[in-house]
Amino acid sequence: MTYLTTTDGVEIFFKDWGPKDAQPIVFHHGWPLSADDWDTQMLYFLAKGYRVVAHDRRGHGRSSQIDSGHDMDHYAADASAVVEHLDLRNAVHIGHSTGGGEVARYVAKFGQPQGRVAKAALVSAVPPLMLQTEANPGGTPLDVFDGLRTALANSRAGFFLDLASGPFYGFNRPTETVSDGVIRNWWRQGMMGSALAHYEGIKAFSETDQTEDLKTITVPTLVMQGDDDQIVPYADASLRQIKLLQNGTLKIYPGFPHGMLTTHADVINPDLLAFIES
């Protein structure tokens, strides 16, 4: 397996497939998953001739279960360490959910000043701010996130099974076909990681205000989200993202769930390809 070590001693696992002289696509996974959540997309774009890269966030998957740095700044810095280690240039960065926040912080803070980023895509992403505040009255109340923390602390295995079986993929909707394999794979990825990283990650994805990150991004950015996203409400996410981005394109998918990358890969992958090749 391939790893790099960050400046603060964290071992970050990463995948790097495809021709090393091809345009790279870098995938940033959501909470509480791993690089494996992108396998369908990585195989799809590999077959199209791209170099595909994905890493496990610190505390997630096969990366170190360290007890510090579970915040958006460290997430972005770790992503930058992967990019620097592989010397990726002209890359397209695609982030799902919390990974979308990671992409926004990375591109704003590390990618654009170095000219390493060609485009970005935010998929069912958490920016600009999930938490309900006086300045963000349409956000999600704090007690919802406190409930997530309590459920995780009381029974992480049961909590993760409930999420994967229900709202994450929309399997609680009568229109969705439930996939036991998808549920098991989500649970497998989640349970590989650190309970502490997942617990502290809830604060990172819900309370990090990324308004300025979005305003700073100048590269073409595709915003994609389903209007039946039960995890990240689209009205407070993608509809606000597109107003803050300087060069954004918005695609809303009727009836699609939070985990649409998996349940509707046949639609999402070609749309991502069309954006990358435009």
Catalytic residue, from 63, 97, 124, 194: name it: 97
Judge whether 74 counts as a catalytic residue: no
**Residues in contact with 143: Cβ distance below 8 Å, sequence separation at least 6, in sequence order:** none
Burial of 71 (0-12, 13-18, 19+ CB in 10 A): middle
pLDDT of residue 22 exceeding 80: yes
Q: What is the pLDDT of residue 1?
A: 75
Residue 255 banded pLDDT, cuts 50, 70, 90:
very high
Query: Is there a contact between 256 and 265 (Cβ–Cβ < 8 Å)?
Result: no
**CATH for 2-277?**
3.40.50.1820
* Coil/strand/helix, residue 51: strand
**Residue reference for tokens 């497998």:** 188
**Residues in contact with 45: Cβ distance below 8 Å, sequence separation at least 6, in sequence order:** 25, 52, 269, 272, 273
pLDDT of residue 40 exceeding 90: yes
Average of per-residue pLDDT values in the chain: 97
* Coil/strand/helix, residue 126: coil
The stretch 164-180 carries a mean pLDDT of 96
pLDDT of residue 129 exceeding 80: yes
Exposure string (b/e) for 107-117, b if CB count within 10 Å is 16 or more? bbbbbbeeebb
The stretch 132-155 carries a mean pLDDT of 97
Query: Is there a contact between 84 and 59 (Cβ–Cβ < 8 Å)?
Result: no
Catalytic residue, from 29, 229, 238, 264: name it: 229
Catalytic residue, from 28, 198, 258, 264: name it: 258
Alpha carbon distance 107, 117 (integer Å): 7
**Residue reference for tokens 């308004």:** 211
Percent of the chain at pLDDT > 90 equals 97
Burial of 187 (0-12, 13-18, 19+ CB in 10 A): middle
Q: Where are the beta strands (DSSP E) in 67-206?
A: 91-96, 117-123
Q: What is the pLDDT of residue 265?
A: 98
Exposure string (b/e) for 236-273, b if CB count within 10 Å is 16 or more? bbbbbbbebbeebebbebeebbbbbbbbbeeebbebbb
Length of the chain counted residue by residue: 278
Q: What is the pLDDT of residue 112?
A: 78
The stretch 15-20 carries a mean pLDDT of 98
Query: Is there a contact between 120 and 217 (Cβ–Cβ < 8 Å)?
Result: yes
Burial of 130 (0-12, 13-18, 19+ CB in 10 A): buried
| Angstrom distances, CA of residue 26 to CA of 29, 52, 237 | 10, 6, 22
Judge whether 60 counts as a catalytic residue: no
Q: What is the pLDDT of residue 19?
A: 98
* pLDDT tens-digit series, residues 78-128: 999 999 999 999 999 999 999 999 999 999 999 877 789 999 999 999 999
What are 25's two structure tokens? 């696509």
Judge whether 229 counts as a catalytic residue: yes
* pLDDT tens-digit series, residues 214-250: 999 999 999 999 999 999 999 999 999 999 999 999 9
Q: What is the pLDDT of residue 91?
A: 98
